[in-house]
């Protein structure tokens, strides 16, 4: 995304020049954000508007601005971003710019440079010679790294609503509470996932152990088998209880089939963790035939990348679990590139952590039985998030049923 800032002055409201300019931007493949607008108070007072014009290429933006100049638009000379070296390792300079999850550019030597990846609650580091900018967490900054400060020469591109298909993320005005019907929304989510898969977008699933506890593991495995999961982020618990279920048929000591407590069932997850530790890890356990079922088995079999991030309450943990939280965060950041849909189920901890890493354009679906968790996760200043208050199992059952119809449809077509 490339951009230019323009100004309009005069009787731009009475003359309909402002709406005309905005319409021209949209109809010529651009988008805009009104930075400032002052409407004249008296009839003869001039009005003023300052508008950021965005386009997919520098050529489109140039052509757009040329057109807009005919209507009186003047290009604003941009100042370069102010850069200050970081005073110490892990410390940002005072007045550092705090990023949002939206696409952000810094103006450097007359050009707009995108700060990658779009991640909220970061600062922006800049390499003047290489003309690059990137978002950094505290842990990534070193003494002397040049950092963006203040707000001059920094531009944020808001996520534009798509003009083509009306997606579920746009028509949803609020989260789906436990009292509302969910089928239509789940069907739309299935359609979004199918579209993402077709277009090569990555689907990320962030899952808590409730997926296993509620007996939804088999649905999840189907999604993996059908190619609707490209990346899994979870904690120790999901993997531990999934493996417990695979090895002993219980989750937290409860038989999933019968719903009854197993004798000495509380030991099962500890024994499961030990079995995997003994094998050297999940992948090794699969290779050795120790682990033959379940979500983690399915991930290994289908070569689905996963990141298991540890927490202070973990038992074990399993060997794959990254116990250094900063290392876990880095591992997640390196893998989220290309993600277009994030499905977050039954985990507040991991969902918030991942939500903080995702750019605003990623469509996010939050499913939790606790309404406050859903609200917390979807209320992220982007319309690209929907939330459903429901148990995980009925949600995933219905989702996989819709996906199964799609699968059947595509088989029929290919046959």
Partner 1 sequence: MRRLLLCPPDYYGIEYEINPWMDRAHNAVPEMARAQWTRLRETLQSLGCQIELISPQPNLPDMVFTANAGLVSGKKFVSSKFRFPQRQGEEAYFEKWFLEHGYQAVRTSDDLYFEGEGDALFCGEVLFCGYRFRSDIRSHQKIGDALKCLAISVELVQDRFYHLDTCFCPLSAESAIWYPAAFDEYGQRAIRHHVRDLIEVSPEEAAHFACNAVVLGKDIVMSENSPKLGAALQRRGFRTHELAMTEFIKAGGACKCLTLFI
Kindly list the residues in this chain that would bind partner 1 in the complex (CB under 8 A).
9-11, 14-17, 19-20, 43-44, 46, 70-72, 74
Report the SS3 class of residue 16: coil
> Is 232:208 a contact under the CB 8 Å cutoff?
no
Q: Closer CB to partner 1, residue 19 or residue 280?
A: 19
CB of 23 to partner 1, least distance (A): 8
CB of 73 to partner 1, least distance (A): 9
CB of 10 to partner 1, least distance (A): 3
CA distances from 377 to 10, 33, 351, 388 (A): 44, 26, 7, 11
Q: Closer CB to partner 1, residue 8 or residue 232?
A: 8
What is d(CA 226, CA 278) in angstroms, rounded to the nearest whole number? 31
HEC profile for 18-41?
HHHHHHHHHHCCCEEEEEEEECCC
Q: Closer CB to partner 1, residue 71 or residue 277?
A: 71
Long-range contacts of 268-272 (CB under 8 A, 24+ apart): 268/244, 269/240, 269/241, 269/244, 269/315, 270/315, 271/244, 271/247, 272/240, 272/243, 272/244, 272/246, 272/247, 272/248
Report the SS3 class of residue 49: strand
CB of 74 to partner 1, least distance (A): 7
- Both structure tokens of 202: 């990555």
Q: Closer CB to partner 1, residue 17 or residue 185?
A: 17
Q: Closer CB to partner 1, residue 14 or residue 89?
A: 14
CB of 21 to partner 1, least distance (A): 10
CB of 16 to partner 1, least distance (A): 4
Q: Closer CB to partner 1, residue 20 or residue 258?
A: 20
Element (H, E) at 344: strand 339-345
């Amino acid at each position: 995304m490339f951009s230019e800032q323009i100004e309009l002055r005069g009787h731009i409201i009475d003359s309909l020049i402002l709406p005309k300019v905005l319409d021209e931007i949209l109809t010529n493949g651009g988008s805009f954000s009104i930075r400032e607008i002052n409407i004249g108070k008296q009839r003869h007072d001039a009005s003023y508007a300052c508008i950021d014009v965005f386009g997919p290429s520098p050529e489109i933006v140039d052509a757009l601005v040329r057109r807009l100049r005919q209507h009186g638009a003047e290009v604003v000379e941009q100042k370069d971003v102010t850069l200050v070296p970081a005073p110490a390792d892990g410390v940002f300079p005072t007045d550092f710019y705090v990023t949002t999850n939206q696409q952000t550019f810094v103006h450097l030597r007359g050009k707009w440079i995108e700060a990658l990846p779009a991640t909220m609650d970061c600062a922006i580091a800049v390499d003047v010679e290489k003309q690059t900018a990137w978002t950094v967490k505290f842990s990534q900054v070193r003494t002397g790294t040049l950092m963006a400060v203040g707000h001059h020469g920094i531009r944020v591109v808001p996520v534009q609503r798509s003009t083509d298909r009306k997606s579920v993320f746009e028509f949803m005005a609020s989260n789906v509470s436990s009292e509302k019907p969910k089928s239509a929304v789940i069907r739309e989510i299935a359609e979004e996932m199918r579209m993402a898969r077709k277009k090569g977008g990555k689907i990320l699933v962030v899952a808590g152990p409730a997926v296993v506890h509620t007996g939804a593991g088999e649905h999840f495995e189907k999604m993996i088998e059908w190619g609707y999961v490209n990346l899994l982020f979870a904690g120790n618990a999901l993997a531990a209880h999934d493996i417990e279920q695979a090895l002993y048929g219980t989750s937290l000591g409860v038989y999933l089939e019968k719903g009854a407590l197993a004798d000495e069932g509380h030991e099962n997850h500890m024994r499961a963790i030990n079995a995997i530790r003994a094998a050297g890890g999940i992948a090794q356990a699969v290779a050795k035939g120790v682990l033959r079922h379940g979500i983690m088995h399915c991930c290994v079999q289908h070569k689905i990348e996963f990141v298991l991030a540890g927490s202070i309450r973990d038992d074990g943990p399993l060997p794959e679990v990254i116990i250094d939280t900063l290392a876990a965060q880095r591992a997640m950041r390196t893998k989220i590139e290309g993600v277009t849909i994030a499905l977050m189920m039954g985990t507040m901890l991991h969902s918030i952590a991942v939500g903080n890493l995702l750019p605003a354009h990623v469509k996010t679906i939050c499913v939790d039985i606790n309404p406050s968790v859903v609200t917390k996760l979807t209320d992220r200043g982007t319309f690209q998030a929907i939330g459903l208050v429901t148990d995980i199992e009925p949600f995933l059952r219905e989702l996989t049923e819709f996906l199964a119809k799609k699968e059947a449809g595509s088989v029929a077509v290919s046959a």
